[in-house]
């Protein structure tokens, strides 16, 4: 089953690559609209060697990841406690839930201009944009995690003489982890898809910025490259998170 699925996956990508190669080789489409695979590869090697816009490739990648991870970590550190608190306490829920439900569906780009006015054009507005995108899914996962927790877990703990704080540390928190991980994976996805937007304004580095800048000069091979890198990076991040999840929440899917 798994082997067959993997074979099909590889096949699909191979076919895609061959079609891409053929379409460009036969000049079926303009090279600006669709650069050839080898052209994209050459661009990649060139950027690896000389960087882009005078900045080494690894620095572009590094700053992008730094923005993403600072935002995610900030979101985890704040949204997990708030989400769990909101799941456990009707008072906290009454205070914060409607605010978060209100801002959650707003497309981040809609308030990005405001963020820039408030926090300037430096790193903070970018990180805050990604942070806001990441916050809601983690918060919601915290609330869900508490609500969906088997009622008997807490009752058993009470009957075993556990105090409130012990119940939180030993039951509610670990019991919410499966939900929290799902939330964190969603958050990484949402932040990641906001990345290009975040790097659109006043950057001079980052993979997302590279795509935007290349589009200004119609350097389609750089755009393709940037998009491929972002796609690959997204896959890699999710794969890493799944590995981490399987290690931490080892009981998930086993009940």
Partner 1 sequence: MGIFLGGCQSKATTEVPNEIRIGVLNTPNDVAVARQLGYFQAAFPKQRVKFITFDSGVDANKALLAGGVDFATMGDTNGVVALAAGIPVQLCWINEICGANEALVVRKNCGIKSIHDLIGKKIATPFASTAHYSLMVALEQAGIRDQVTLLDLDTQNIVAAWQRGNIDAAYTWQPTLSQLLPESDVLVDSAALAKTGNSTGNITLVRQEFAQQQPQLTQRFIEVLNRAHQLRQTDYAKTVRAAAKQTGISVAEAKLQMNGTSWPGLSAEFSPKYLGTQVTVGQFVKEMQQTGVFMARQQTISQAPTLKQFDQFIWKGGLS
Partner 2 sequence: MSALVTATQLSLRYATTADPIVAATDFTIEQQEILALVGPSGCGKSTILKAIAGFIPHTGELQMATREITAPGSDRGVVFQNASLYPWLNVAQNVAFGLRAASQPVAKIDQRVQQLLQLIDLQAQAQRPIFALSGGMRQRVAIARALAPQPPLLLLDEPFGALDAFTRQKMQQLILDIWRREQVSMLLITHDLTEALRCGSRIAVMSKQAHKIVKIYDNPCQGMTADELASPLIEPAAMQLRHEILQVINETAAE
Which among 97, 90, 126 has a CA at the least distance from the CA of 198? 126
For residue 158, state whether it binds partner 2 (rule: CB under 8 A). yes
R_g of the chain, CA atoms, integer Å = 22
For residue 170, state whether it binds partner 2 (rule: CB under 8 A). yes
- Under a CB-based contact definition with an 8 Å cutoff, are residues 157 and 207 in contact? no
Residue closer to partner 1, measured from CB, 194 or 220: 220
Residue closer to partner 2, measured from CB, 105 or 152: 152
Contacts of 63 (CB under 8 A, 6+ apart): 205, 206
3-state DSSP percent of the chain in helix, strand and coil, to 5: 80, 0, 20
**Which residue among 16, 19, 41, 53 contacts partner 1 (CB under 8 A)?**
53
Name the burial class of residue 32, with classes exposed (0-12), middle (13-18) and buried (19+) by CB atoms within 10 angstroms of its CB. Answer: exposed
- Only one of the segments 94-102, 103-111, 140-148, 247-255 lies at the binding site for partner 2 (rule: CB under 8 A); that segment is 247-255
Strand partners, 52: 55
For residue 247, state whether it binds partner 2 (rule: CB under 8 A). no
Q: Which of residues 111-130 bind partner 1 (CB under 8 A)?
A: 113, 116-117, 120-122
Q: Which of residues 20-39 bind partner 1 (CB under 8 A)?
A: 27-33
**Which residue among 10, 11, 155, 218 contacts partner 2 (CB under 8 A)?**
155
- For residue 196, how far is the Cα from the chain centroid? 12
Q: Which does 148 bind (CB under 5 to 8 A by kind): partner 1, partner 2, none?
A: none
For residue 218, state whether it binds partner 1 (rule: CB under 8 A). yes
DSSP state of 52: B
**Which residue among 136, 146, 157, 229 contacts partner 2 (CB under 8 A)?**
157
- Please give the residue ranges that form the binding site for partner 2 (CB under 8 A): 150, 152-153, 155-163, 166, 170-171, 174-175, 177, 249-251, 254-255
């Amino acid at each position: 089953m798994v082997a067959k699925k993997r074979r099909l996956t590889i096949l699909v990508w191979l076919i895609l690559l061959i079609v891409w190669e053929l379409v460009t080789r036969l000049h079926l489409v303009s090279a600006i609209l669709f650069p050839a695979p080898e052209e994209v590869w050459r661009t990649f090697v060139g950027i690896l060697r000389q960087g882009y816009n005078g900045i080494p490739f690894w620095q572009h990648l590094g700053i992008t990841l730094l923005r993403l991870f600072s935002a995610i970590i900030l979101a985890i550190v704040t949204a997990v406690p708030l989400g769990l608190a909101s799941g456990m306490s009707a008072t906290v829920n009454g205070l914060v839930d409607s605010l978060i439900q209100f801002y959650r569906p707003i497309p981040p780009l809609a308030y990005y201009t405001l963020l820039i006015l408030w926090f300037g054009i430096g790193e903070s507005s970018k990180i805050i944009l990604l942070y806001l995108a990441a916050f809601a899914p983690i918060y919601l996962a915290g609330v869900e995690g508490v609500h969906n927790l088997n009622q008997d877990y807490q009752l058993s703990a009470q009957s075993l003489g556990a105090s409130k704080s012990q119940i939180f540390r030993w039951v509610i928190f670990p019991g919410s982890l499966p939900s929290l991980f799902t939330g964190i994976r969603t958050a990484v996805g949402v932040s990641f898809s906001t990345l290009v937007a975040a790097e659109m304004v006043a950057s001079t580095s980052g993979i997302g910025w590279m795509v935007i800048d290349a589009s200004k000069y119609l350097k389609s091979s750089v755009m393709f490259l940037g998009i491929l890198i972002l796609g690959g990076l997204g896959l890699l991040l999710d794969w890493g998170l799944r590995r981490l999840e399987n290690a931490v929440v080892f009981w998930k899917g086993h009940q």
